[in-house]
Structure 1
Amino acid sequence: MTNDVAPPSRYKAWVSHLQDSTAGQWSVTNYHDDTKGHSILIFNSTDTEGTLLSTVGLMDVNISAIADKELRTEILLDHRGRAQHDANVLATIAFYVLKNKWRPSPGVVFEEMVTFYLPETTLPHVLFIPPYQWTDSRMTKATVGEFLIHPLLAVPISESERRIVSSYGYERLQTVWEDSQTDVLDWNRDGRIEA
C-alpha cells in the first residue's frame, strides 16, 4: 500500500477482500483533496477485461439517515478497458461523502461527478446500485473488522438516464437497461435512451 501513515487493520482486511474478489494486478494509492485536508485510499485492480476500483476507508463514515442506526459502505467503480481519471472520479465521490455528508445509497444520483475530469463525457453523473458483477454474495456485504460493509457500485449515467431515475425511479432505468441490453460498465456508451 502507498500511504502517508500505516492504515488500520480494517482497511487491510478490506483490501484483502478485494484482492480475493478480483484477478488483476492491484495497487492502493492515497488521494488528497485540493486543500490536502482530507484523503482517501483507492484500490485499483486492472486486468485484460478492465479496471475495478474501490474506496478504502469510507467505512469510517456512518451514512445512515436514521438515528441510532449504523450503515457503512465502500464505493466501487468498474469499467471495461481503461477510463481516464477514473480514480480521481472515485476520490471526488468519496470527498463529497466525507466533507459534505452526502449519502450514497441504491438509486441515489451524484450529479456531475464525471464531468469534473471528463467535461466532454456523455455520462456526467453517477448512479449508485448494488454490485451485481459477482455470482455469490461477497460484494453484497462484507464483515471487515468491527464493521459490516454494504458496498455500492457507482455507475456513470447520462442526463437522459438521470431524468428517468428522477421521474420514474431507479427500477425503471434498470428495466430500460435490461430491455436494451445496456452494458453499464462501458464508459464510452452513448447513454441516450427513452423511458
Structure 2
Amino acid sequence: MPSKSNKEWANIVSTLTGGYKSVANYYDEQEATSIHVLTVLKEGGKVCATIGLMDVQHEPPTEILMDSTSEDVKLENIISMAAFFIMKDGWKIKPGAVFETLVSEYHPELELKHLLFVPQYQWGEALSKVELEQGYIYPLLAVGITNEELDFISQKGVSALENLWEQNNINVLDWHRSSSV
C-alpha cells in the first residue's frame, strides 16, 4: 500500500508532466519484490517515475524518473528493473552512476544499452529537491546511453558527455537516437 508521501510524489509528478496517468505494480521475476510505477502519457511521449523507492534505505532518499519522446519504449520495465537492483542488490544511484545493459534487456534493437543517472532538467527546481510529508527526496533522471558513450564517460567523465550533448543539441529523451560520440 503506497504511503502518504508516495501518493504525494505521484501527484506532484503527474501534475507537472500533464497527460493521462496510470499506476501499476511491477514485480521481480520471483514475484517477491514489487515497485509501483507511475506512467504519464503526454503529447509527444511519456514519463515514468518509481513510487516507493524513497522507502528503501538509500541516502539521500530518491525516486527515478524516465522521459521519452515516444511511447513505444518499455520505460516501465526498465525503470522497475533499475529499482529492483537498488532494492534487492543494494546498487547505489547518484548523478553520474551507470547501470550497464539494463536497456538492452528489453530493447536489444536500440543503440542505447545502459542507464545514466543525471539530475532532471525538464521540470526545473520543482523536481530537483521535493519536499514531502516524510522529508525531502532527490529524484534523478535515468537516460539511455550507447556503448560508445559509456566508453567516453570512462575516458573523459560524465560532465564531458553532458557538455557534448549540450554543444550538439542532442535530445537525450529520444530513445531511438544514435550515439553522440
Please confirm whether the aligned pair reaches a TM-score higher than 0.5, indicating the same fold: yes
> Residue 148 of structure 1: SS of its match in structure 2?
strand
AA of the residue aligned to 1:107: G
**Partner Cα separation in structure 2 for residue 132 and residue 115 of structure 1:** 25
Conserved 8 A contact 1:128-1:153: yes
Aligned residue in 1 for 2:140:
152
Q: Percent same amino acid among aligned pairs?
A: 36
TM-score by length of 2: 0.96
AA of the residue aligned to 1:8: S
**Residues 1:20 and 2:15 aligned together:** yes
Aligned residue in 1 for 2:24:
29
AA of the residue aligned to 1:159: N
Aligned residue in 1 for 2:63:
74
After superposition, give the CA deviation of every residue in 1:151-173 in whole Å (9 maximum; x if it has no partner).
00000000111111112111000
Aligned residue in 2 for 1:7:
2
**Residues 1:61 and 2:50 aligned together:** no
Conserved 8 A contact 2:165-2:180: no
**Partner Cα separation in structure 1 for residue 133 and residue 34 of structure 2:** 21
- Would you say how many aligned residue pairs link Structure 1 and Structure 2? 181
**Partner Cα separation in structure 2 for residue 121 and residue 147 of structure 1:** 38
**Residues 1:121 and 2:114 aligned together:** no
Aligned-residue offset at 1:63: 2.2
Conserved 8 A contact 1:59-1:147: no
RMSD (Å) for aligned C-alpha atoms: 1.1
> Residue 166 of structure 1: SS of its match in structure 2?
helix
TM-score by length of 1: 0.90
| Gap runs ≥5 in structure 2 | none
**Partner Cα separation in structure 1 for residue 121 and residue 2 of structure 2:** 28
> Residue 125 of structure 2: SS of its match in structure 1?
coil
| Gap runs ≥5 in structure 1 | 1-5, 65-70
**Residues 1:131 and 2:135 aligned together:** no
Aligned-residue offset at 1:83: 2.9
Q: Which has the larger radius of gyration?
A: 1
**Partner Cα separation in structure 1 for residue 119 and residue 180 of structure 2:** 23
**Residues 1:141 and 2:129 aligned together:** yes
Aligned-residue offset at 1:192: 4.7
**Residues 1:189 and 2:177 aligned together:** yes
After superposition, give the CA deviation of every residue in 1:165-190 in whole Å (9 maximum; x if it has no partner).
11211100011111211000000001
**Partner Cα separation in structure 1 for residue 7 and residue 163 of structure 2:** 37
